[in-house]
Structure 1
């Protein structure tokens, strides 16, 4: 019995040791396969943060961040301080006098160092690295301000700040990126906190009143990736909190409404201080109705200020900087009047689905069109001392609104075509405006040009007002004049008729016959009073754009079924139905529930969304979820592993780099300039004959690894001399935090203002400079690619990622994104324009069914990408994690190939947004759809060499990845840098010393210990058995 038991024990131990050995072997195999990724996770990428070139770039970027903020701050309110007195002279609250500003009270917990919002959570989160101590909030900006001739700092009430810091030192530890609502915790002490005893036995409020009669109130709101803003408030009014606590919750207010504590604070300040100024510092536009309710004297919106943007605040308050920013979202008094309100974010949508019921009527296009149709005529509102009606009772500040410390007058100098002329498909509209500063201080102005198209009830849906062009002046001295010219073309006014609503058998872009008014406006609601501000043009008959005007390629429905008339073999004309992509229309019409209920101008009252749309289900939806695109079958094997002498990069002496050298540590590298420029030429490079030779040199494994392994890089390829190229987030400047890699604490890249601040400047030159500057930092530290800019629009104020995007308007967003792309590429960096497409919902975005009409998709959600591709030369795209309709965006060939490449003419690399496993991002669907690079460490499924069609798709994807780098290099080499604020040394490789992989040493030590342990255990296990057997035989 004992012998049997001994055998069982020995067998179990042997099995255990076998399992340990197998696990060790498998671990070593994977450690070898993912050596670079594991090394980067523990030690960081081979990036350099202390080079002389980087220091120059950082100094430039820091100054640019401040300049962007100076032009991007929006002055929403600036009341006459004599408005409630008998005085007749006008005395605006801002700018403040030197005497006022050198001593102020700063109220609001958000004013503290830990409360100030410099950036958002997620891929915009650049504030954790070595640069975190460089970030300035309002207090640091006041400390370092230079007010007046004596250059005095702004002295603020330290007792107030100490009270806030004692109340709570920081925000919640839990991140919005991880889906935690505690991230949105509102931190503000109750009103009674100001009645506590302070210095000299007086209350904190009494001391504040003695300190200054000016109250600057800071209010902030957070936002970020993977978590939309809540429709409730979680509040911390005690200062005490741990992540396990349950916070008081106010379900009567959204996160973007003012809280009761903030109301009490504003009321207290209004009752006790002569001048009350609000500084709004947040990621998303907040409901600002409280400005009127509490009769606030002035308000500036600074949004996320980045690293140095806050230094602009005292300059704006003092008048040293004249604010010239304009809003990029409309500001209603009540956020529930927005048609997206019932279908946005995780708190107002069906689980797993989002429906864009508002159709094309997003932001100002809704509010202005509703006003045109008389939808607001019965609205009234009493707020503060105002009694409002109609549009004014609904909209507090229009889109494109912003005040200045001076006044401007516009004069139309030239216009073409002349008023009343007929519009043709080739018409280019141009207007030159003289902008004269008629005020007393220097300032900059923004000229906005809109068009009003004809609308026919029941016809194509159209907004009554649409931004067509804009231009910002330079600094204009009092009495001086500057000229700006604004241009757009007929195609820019075209509507996309996906349903043939005007019954002319056309499914595509077109202009209805009728009158088109082109109007110079101060904002989306206010026409300028200059002579000739409005001109009307005539189109006598419908005008169709069946081909893209830039590429000449066919444009047709991709996401909506439509009918065509064809001639059959018998010579008869017959009607055929062409199904939507994947046989499942994005408007839900192929689902069991039918088409989603879209808002329509023909009946706003009857179609305004009042409830959350139901999910779309059925066989068509289920079949489309895993739809693999149909592509032309390939029957011949690709050529691989051919010995040839084409190399993208060589050593100085012409010899070739090894794979380990290409993976890091390139010293004395020389770019094959002639070859790379042939391959990267934007006009002829993609079809260069050298591609065939170059690609034939690559092995199967090299092709597959290049395509499948793209975790914040694209891998080295030894056979063609391609180095490993690193990529980084994000829209507010480079960072690698979301990558989860080591070395994040060493990052010292610039944290710029949020992109929305760039857009609020309405200055495309600043956006271009932003791209240049990010690229300069990138290449001088060894990084090559940029997961940015963000070209999605701000569909709703509650989208978690609004801070990464520019505007609710697709034209403004597209122009800004295009210039950032153009600047980055001009300095040699690859861009990945993101998130393509319909990624306006963050919560539950992975696999989210997104239902919308093709008209809305093209006019609102793709147009900004289209502009950035055509005008900005974007050579990279990042797809979205959601579905477009029922099909994952990255595997959606209609989106990522047929529109992006075939219609717009895009050439370059398309990377996934993260990698969610083979079940959701299968390699075949990805490559057939148009993806070239998987943002992950390998993929869960492999490329079968016997699948000739899939292998050919992988080879094309490899070409696209390589082309993007060659294209940026070529453009930079041939770009005129004479007017650029900074230039990079493109073609040089900046890489740090290779990190000692301590994890690898640890693994080797583990191998030795485990193998040795198993050996020793085996020896003693069987030795003991032998001893026992000898003992028995002796007996």
Structure 2
């Protein structure tokens, strides 16, 4: 007998409910594992504050006040500051015959970037261009007429542009342009503006292979189509069809710049504008019109050919010879790659200027080095529409010991016809002695040691600029002998100069050298000052920032000093023998470099690369107090004492407070950090949000529940924050006041959007022009980076937003950044790469860092005790906490990072896709197996977790993350709406499935009984 229709419907209904139940149950499980990411994406917090007394609930505690009353006012100020920064940071590279400011009002635009400007980079620093202007718009706004709009339309229709993912520059050829319908739109007498654009971003470095391919060649060298356009424009100029050619370089990464002065291209003026942020293009039009007089100075050396940079010979990811003999499992690539910083301290201008001086002085086997064939524009270079003269240099010395400093004052006079600003750059020179040669200490001919900038000077006006130079900047790190910073015996120089090359020429002039001796130009000896020193290895045996002992901490990052190096060895560049030690890019037939340091995998490198339980300290049974009920402090009680004074990190009350924390609470604090710190309701610790991106706040103001936009229900709260020009442009301003104003506004954006922490600023070094994230970082120079970043960091933190300076440290390339072994000698590491992080801590009390993906030597940077604790907290004195870069469980380890002094991971348990954590509902499961009584109990780890919790809580309690928290409030968990919805759906489907099953069973049972009754009747 066939089943009834009723039973069929019951079966279908029950099956559907069961399937839906399984799907919803699975979805609910997965969603809970990714709760952190979901909540972050939806802008949901999982806690709320409620009154714990009869206090007025309408009173909302704010610990940092805003200067603004609305999002609209804040955005207006941000957009104006972007324009100001771009106007002051853009660098005028060339201006023959006073081509700029433009005389006529008709211009024509060329280049794929003319229709697709570069506003920012890709990845974490990406800039929203939704409301950003275009080149035609800003030129029209500046009163210009773009006479070849038909060509721009043709560009768009032809889909010309830049394909960063493939390293392509899809520029039109000159022949295509000539054949287009727009060819007749180039009027006579106008200026042709050719825009060169390049884009960099996270996870990819720029391609640097052969130079002549229009699609997949050297990304930072003009390709054949771009060169052909310039040649064609030059022919137009010679024929009188156009009057001049102006090039705009819309790229954060310096391009190979020999083309700018190539006579075949006839370029009259060139302006580097970097990546411009949201409103920076308006400033470009301001400069072209003369409304703004450019005053930017290059934060990097610009090479005629970027491949002449010696760092390029060892800029990539290489595989250890013999790595195939070691079993690293499925993630072998994160264990078996490396890069060597063979150039040592000779990064950028430290190489070019030092080799140049040795050539002039006839020392160091300088070889056939021709400065002007290598350097297009030196570090610090920048023209103006006016001329300036520096004079009357005065130097005085003050202070004792580590407090010793030189005060340098210089009179600056505007000798031209246009009002403008002038940067004063102060450089130092240390003597290069036999002691250095014996102990492998290298010294550059000049190093930037300070800077200042005038206000706007009218023609004929003067201003005295004063710059303070710490004596510490004249020391050298003696890695192979004393292990401290030394002042060598001999004569030291200070000079005020326009740029690094002028600085060397000034010192050479003071030494009696002239153009006839091989100098490129005469220097000014009057702008130099000399000091004589005796050998001193005692004064700076104490750290500049803290007075703690300086010791050699990074021998294992130098392959020559690494105990398990085997036969590996590297010869670093030395000014004692330029020809014999300099490695330069040497291409094979395919354009790929073959001249690099070759290393072999050793047993010790392999062992140090893998973090497992064998590396953990033995359990000593000395457990910290946990879960104490003797006190009942709330976190807010640790903010200020009864007199209103801030409670210090080492105040004894902290020990009593930390005794309250349980092992589980310590675990959660140290296990979760995906752009956040977790809430601990029992102690009144709120969840805090962090923003990711060094170009400004790129998310909506409505994201954070304790942001001012949400608290005031601002009508514009769904807008996003302001995004600023690349950090290279910010550095190029050499203007601390302006940088401070940028930092204030970034801090304000964070306040209004509800962030307590900010992933930035980016302090890695422009080791080469090809690093993908050059736009996030400031300069090739560690001191300029550190000084500028210190000003910006201090300003952001003044708004209660702690800054995670990143990526700590040696993350100066993107290729194979996950796990790559980075080998660098200790002098270079300290004087350039760590200096960038040191100065914001010393000068601005920078609170936090984001650690890097790479290894320092063989050890993951996040698990290096010498880096994270001995140097960062010891010598430098950082008080806050560290977060990893995006956590990758295939080679990172949370127990190891906490033991090293790195405090939280940038992930949420359950994260996958980067080799992340196993799935679990226990946020601190990574640490559970090391708890008291567990299988691997480990008291040293518990003590380290307690100290990490101390750093996290201390930083948060003194931040705007405590907004909304007072002595009369408490924190309670809130289940997010999506979780409630899924749970209700799961229970509802479970009930419906059960009901359907019951009905089906009853129906089947009822049919069986009816059959039995019929049989009995027949009988």
Relative to the length of structure 1, the TM-score reads: 0.79
Q: Which blocks of at least 5 consecutive residues in structure 2 are unaligned? A: 1-13, 49-65, 237-241, 322-335, 507-522, 585-594, 711-715, 910-916, 919-925, 933-937
Q: Is 1:550 aligned to 2:545, yes or no?
A: yes
CA, structure 1 residues 916+512, in 2 after alignment: closer, same or farther (shift >3 Å)?
A: same
SS at match of 1:464: coil
Q: Is 1:955 aligned to 2:935, yes or no?
A: no
Q: Is 1:405 aligned to 2:382, yes or no?
A: no
1:414-453 equivalences in 2 (<5 Å): 414-417=394-397, 427-453=404-430
Task: Tell me how far 1:999 sits from its aligned partner.
Answer: 6.3
Q: Which residue of 2 is the match for residue 360 of structure 1?
A: 345
How far apart in 2 are the matches of 1:376 and 1:804? 38
How far apart in 2 are the matches of 1:881 and 1:498? 25
1:920-979 per-residue CA deviation (whole Å, 9 max, x = no partner) reads 221210101111111110355234321322222212111111212334469x99xxxxxx
1:288-437 equivalences in 2 (<5 Å): 288-293=257-262, 294-346=265-317, 352-374=337-359, 390-417=370-397, 427-437=404-414
SS at match of 2:313: coil
1:147-546 equivalences in 2 (<5 Å): 152-168=143-159, 172=163, 181-182=165-166, 184-196=167-179, 198=181, 204-210=182-188, 212-232=189-209, 253-272=217-236, 273-293=242-262, 294-346=265-317, 352-374=337-359, 390-417=370-397, 427-456=404-433, 458-459=437-438, 460-500=441-481, 506-527=482-503, 532-544=526-538, 545-546=540-541
CA, structure 1 residues 590+197, in 2 after alignment: closer, same or farther (shift >3 Å)?
A: closer
Task: Tell me how far 1:848 sits from its aligned partner.
Answer: 0.8
Query: Which of 581, 595, 605 pairs up with 2:569?
Result: 595
Task: Tell me how far 1:261 sits from its aligned partner.
Answer: 0.6
Q: Which residue of 1 is the match for residue 4 of structure 2?
A: none
How far apart in 2 are the matches of 1:988 and 1:277? 64
How far apart in 2 are the matches of 1:260 and 1:217? 15
Task: Tell me how far 1:1029 sits from its aligned partner.
Answer: 11
- Kindly indicate whether the alpha-carbon contact (under 8 Å) linking 1:596 and 1:851 is maintained by their aligned counterparts in 2: no
- Kindly indicate whether the alpha-carbon contact (under 8 Å) linking 2:319 and 2:337 is maintained by their aligned counterparts in 1: no
CA, structure 1 residues 159+1018, in 2 after alignment: closer, same or farther (shift >3 Å)?
A: same
- Kindly indicate whether the alpha-carbon contact (under 8 Å) linking 1:186 and 1:234 is maintained by their aligned counterparts in 2: no
CA, structure 1 residues 959+39, in 2 after alignment: closer, same or farther (shift >3 Å)?
A: same
1:814-963 equivalences in 2 (<5 Å): 814-917=786-889, 919-938=890-909, 939-940=917-918, 941-943=926-928, 944-946=930-932, 947-963=938-954
How far apart in 1 are the matches of 2:560 and 2:788? 28
- Kindly indicate whether the alpha-carbon contact (under 8 Å) linking 1:514 and 1:539 is maintained by their aligned counterparts in 2: yes
How far apart in 1 are the matches of 2:270 and 2:748? 35
Q: Which is bigger in relative contact order (C-alpha 8 A, separation at least 6)?
A: 2
Q: Is 1:703 aligned to 2:655, yes or no?
A: no
> Which has the higher mean CA deviation after the structures are superposed, 833-842 or 422-431?
422-431
Task: Tell me how far 1:720 sits from its aligned partner.
Answer: 2.1
- Kindly indicate whether the alpha-carbon contact (under 8 Å) linking 1:629 and 1:892 is maintained by their aligned counterparts in 2: no
1:638-787 equivalences in 2 (<5 Å): 638-640=625-627, 642=629, 644-648=631-635, 674=641, 685-735=648-698, 746-787=718-759
- Kindly indicate whether the alpha-carbon contact (under 8 Å) linking 2:151 and 2:185 is maintained by their aligned counterparts in 1: no
How far apart in 2 are the matches of 1:197 and 1:676? 77
SS at match of 2:455: coil
Q: Which blocks of at least 5 consecutive residues in structure 1 are unaligned? A: 1-13, 81-91, 146-151, 199-203, 236-247, 379-387, 501-505, 561-579, 651-670, 974-983
- Kindly indicate whether the alpha-carbon contact (under 8 Å) linking 2:763 and 2:789 is maintained by their aligned counterparts in 1: yes
CA, structure 1 residues 33+166, in 2 after alignment: closer, same or farther (shift >3 Å)?
A: closer
- Kindly indicate whether the alpha-carbon contact (under 8 Å) linking 1:423 and 1:539 is maintained by their aligned counterparts in 2: no
- Kindly indicate whether the alpha-carbon contact (under 8 Å) linking 2:545 and 2:875 is maintained by their aligned counterparts in 1: no
CA, structure 1 residues 644+122, in 2 after alignment: closer, same or farther (shift >3 Å)?
A: same
1:244-295 per-residue CA deviation (whole Å, 9 max, x = no partner) reads xxxx8656x4110001110011111111122000011012111121111123
How far apart in 1 are the matches of 2:466 and 2:1003? 94
Task: Tell me how far 1:377 sits from its aligned partner.
Answer: 9.5
CA, structure 1 residues 1000+539, in 2 after alignment: closer, same or farther (shift >3 Å)?
A: same
Task: Tell me how far 1:349 sits from its aligned partner.
Answer: 10
CA, structure 1 residues 476+802, in 2 after alignment: closer, same or farther (shift >3 Å)?
A: same
SS at match of 1:133: coil
How far apart in 2 are the matches of 1:988 and 1:736? 32
- Kindly indicate whether the alpha-carbon contact (under 8 Å) linking 1:453 and 1:464 is maintained by their aligned counterparts in 2: yes
- Kindly indicate whether the alpha-carbon contact (under 8 Å) linking 2:623 and 2:942 is maintained by their aligned counterparts in 1: no
- Kindly indicate whether the alpha-carbon contact (under 8 Å) linking 1:233 and 1:250 is maintained by their aligned counterparts in 2: no
CA, structure 1 residues 848+635, in 2 after alignment: closer, same or farther (shift >3 Å)?
A: same
SS at match of 2:877: coil
CA, structure 1 residues 518+543, in 2 after alignment: closer, same or farther (shift >3 Å)?
A: farther
CA, structure 1 residues 605+553, in 2 after alignment: closer, same or farther (shift >3 Å)?
A: same
How far apart in 2 are the matches of 1:411 and 1:985? 56
SS at match of 2:879: coil
Q: Which residue of 1 is the match for residue 622 of structure 2?
A: 635
Q: Which residue of 1 is the match for residue 63 of structure 2?
A: none
Task: Tell me how far 1:139 sits from its aligned partner.
Answer: 2.4
- Kindly indicate whether the alpha-carbon contact (under 8 Å) linking 1:220 and 1:282 is maintained by their aligned counterparts in 2: yes
- Kindly indicate whether the alpha-carbon contact (under 8 Å) linking 2:442 and 2:575 is maintained by their aligned counterparts in 1: yes
How far apart in 1 are the matches of 2:643 and 2:260? 57
Question: When the two structures are aligned, how many residues end up with a matched partner?
Answer: 892
Query: Which of 599, 605, 608 pairs up with 2:582?
Result: 608
SS at match of 2:392: strand
Q: Which residue of 2 is the match for residue 137 of structure 1?
A: 134
CA, structure 1 residues 377+1005, in 2 after alignment: closer, same or farther (shift >3 Å)?
A: farther
Task: Tell me how far 1:777 sits from its aligned partner.
Answer: 1.0
How far apart in 1 are the matches of 2:340 and 2:316? 11
Q: Which residue of 2 is the match for residue 75 of structure 1?
A: 92
Q: Which residue of 1 is the match for residue 588 of structure 2?
A: none
SS at match of 1:822: helix
Q: Is 1:107 aligned to 2:110, yes or no?
A: yes
CA, structure 1 residues 964+219, in 2 after alignment: closer, same or farther (shift >3 Å)?
A: same
SS at match of 1:777: helix
- Kindly indicate whether the alpha-carbon contact (under 8 Å) linking 1:789 and 1:817 is maintained by their aligned counterparts in 2: yes
SS at match of 2:656: helix
Relative to the length of structure 2, the TM-score reads: 0.80
How far apart in 2 are the matches of 1:249 and 1:987? 66
How far apart in 2 are the matches of 1:948 and 1:714? 24
> Which has the higher mean CA deviation after the structures are superposed, 474-483 or 934-943?
934-943
How far apart in 2 are the matches of 1:675 and 1:841? 49
Task: Tell me how far 1:558 sits from its aligned partner.
Answer: 1.1
How far apart in 1 are the matches of 2:94 and 2:675? 43
CA, structure 1 residues 995+752, in 2 after alignment: closer, same or farther (shift >3 Å)?
A: farther
CA, structure 1 residues 923+406, in 2 after alignment: closer, same or farther (shift >3 Å)?
A: same
Q: Which residue of 2 is the match for residue 573 of structure 1?
A: none
Task: Tell me how far 1:228 sits from its aligned partner.
Answer: 0.4
Task: Tell me how far 1:153 sits from its aligned partner.
Answer: 4.8
CA RMSD of aligned residues (A): 4.0
Query: Which of 89, 93, 97 pairs up with 2:99?
Result: 93
Task: Tell me how far 1:1000 sits from its aligned partner.
Answer: 4.6
1:198-257 per-residue CA deviation (whole Å, 9 max, x = no partner) reads 3xxxxx3332134x521011110000111000124899xxxxxxxxxxxx8656x41100
Task: Tell me how far 1:538 sits from its aligned partner.
Answer: 1.0
- Kindly indicate whether the alpha-carbon contact (under 8 Å) linking 1:408 and 1:439 is maintained by their aligned counterparts in 2: yes
Q: Which residue of 1 is the match for residue 606 of structure 2?
A: 622
- Kindly indicate whether the alpha-carbon contact (under 8 Å) linking 2:413 and 2:463 is maintained by their aligned counterparts in 1: yes
